[in-house]
Structure 1
Amino acid sequence: GDPLEGPPSFLNLDCVDPLMPATSDEEMKDEVIKRIKKFNMTMVAFGDAEVLRSWVNAAPPGRIIPGIGISDATSMTVEAFRDSLSNGFYKVMAEVAPQYQGISPSDPALDPYFAVAEELNIPVGIHMGTGGNGMANLSQPKYRASLGNPFLLEDLLARHPKMKIWVMHAGYPMLEEMIALMGANAYVYLDISGFIWSYPLDEIHYYIKRLVQAGFGKRIMYGTDFMMWPRLFETSMGVIEHAQYLSEDQKRDILFNNAVRFFRMDESQFDWPE
C-alpha cells in the first residue's frame, strides 16, 4: 500500500470460501452458543460487562469463562479491579494487552493488578506478538511490535512466581524467544488464538510444529479470537484436526486436555448430552 492513500479494507472477500461476519449482535450470540453446544465447547470471553453477562446467561452453565482485562493503569483503579475479581463473576484476567498502549507487560504501573490476580489465584492471559498486519499505522498508533517479545514477561514472572499465565496468540512471530521463555518458566502456557487464522497455513503449521518439537505440546491451548466470524471455530479447529505432524493424543491435548489442566476444570463436566 501507500501511506498517502486510504487504508485497505479489514474485510477481504477475495478468496475461495470467505467467512461472512455476523450481521448483528444477536446473530453473533446465537451462532456462537449453537457452536458451544454442537462442539461441546468451553470458551474464555471478555468485553463489555453487560454483553458478557448476556452471553453467559444464554450459554449452558459453565461454558463461558468470563474475563476482565487491563491494558494500562488508567482504565480502572486497583481497588475496583480487586472488587471485580472478588465478586466471583470474572474467572480470568484477560485480555491484558499493554502492547497496544506502547507499554511493556513488566511495566511497574501494571504490577499492582498482577499482584491482585496472583493473590486471588486468577489465571492471566497476556497479548504477546502480532496484532495484525499494519496495526501500528492503520488503527493502533501506540502499538509497537518489539513490545510483543515474550522475553518482556521475564521480570513480571520473577516478581510474581505464583501467578498462572498464558501467552495469547503464541507470541508469534517470536518463536525462539517463546521457546526459551517456556523452557525457563515451567508454568507458562500459550494459546494459538488469532495467529491460527491470520497467516498462511504453512507458516502456522511450522510455528506449532516447532513448539511441539521443542517439547511444549502439553502447554499449547487451542483458541480462536473469532471476532465477528462464527465459522472461524470450524475453520480453526480444522487446522489442528488435519495437522499430519500431530498424533491424536497431541491434538486432544491442544484442543482439550491442556486447557482443562490450566483452567482447573472438571473433565467430567463435558460429558453432557445435546
Structure 2
Amino acid sequence: MSKYAGKKTVITGGTHGMGLGVAKALLDEGAEVLVTGLNEKNIEAARAELKGRAAHVVRSDAARVDDVRALRGIVEEKLGRIDFVHVNVGIAELVPFDQVTEEGYDRIFDINTKGAFFTVQQLAPLVNDGGAVLFTTSIADAMGYPGITVYGGAKAALRTFAKGFAAELMPRGIRVNSLSPGPIKTPSMGYPAMPDEEKDAHEKEMNEISPMKRHGTIEEIAAAALFLAFDATFTTGVELVVDGGLAQGIIPAAA
C-alpha cells in the first residue's frame, strides 16, 4: 500500500520548482493533490506533467484575498476534507534597500505574507483534526544578505505566523511548522525575473559560500516537507532549515 494513500493535500505555489516537487512526491505515494499557481505557462506545464494522476491544478492569486476565499470553495468541492496544507507560494526580488519602491514592497508582502495568512485562515476549517500545515520560509529570515531585506522581513513574518497558528490550532491537534530552504536548484533559482546570466553568477557565488559547496535539490526539499507533514507527529511551531549549513555558521574543516 502506498504511504500516503487516502491523504488529500493542498500546495499553493505548486505548479513549479519546490512546490511541484513536493506534489510529485505525494502523488508517487498515493496522495490526492491540489496545486495552485498564477503563471499561465507554469499552470499549463503542470497540467501536462500531472495529467492522468490524482492531481488538480488551479489558478489562484495569493495576493488577492478574494482569490484565496474562492480557493476554499474549490478545495472543498474537489477534495472535501484535507490532511495537509503546504503554503509554498512566494516571490523573491533582489533589490538594494535604497532602490525598493512602495509598489515593490507591497508586492513582496502581499504575496509572501498576506496571502499566506489568509490561505491558512480560509483552509484551516477544512483540515482534518490531527492534520498539518507547513509554511515555506527561507534562511533569509535569519540572515543579513544584500538585496533581500524586504523579502527576509516577509519570510520572518511567516515564521511568526507558524508559531501563532500552531498555538491557535493546537486544540484540534493540527501541527504547524516551517521549512526554511537555503539555495535550492530550481528552474527559477528563486528569482524568476533575474536574467539567466545573473542566475548563473548567483548560483556560483552561493556554491562558493555554502559549507557543502552546492545547491540543494528539489528532492531534498520534498523529503523534508513530507517529514514535517506526516512523520514529525510530536513537532509543532518549529522551523526546519534545509540549507547545507549555510545559515548555521559552519566553517568546513580543511580537506
Fold equivalence (TM over 0.5): no
- State TM-score, norm by structure 1: 0.37
Q: Relative contact order: is structure 1 or structure 2 higher (C-alpha 8 Å, sep ≥ 6)?
A: 2
Larger radius of gyration: 1
- Give the strand-richer structure, 1 or 2: 2
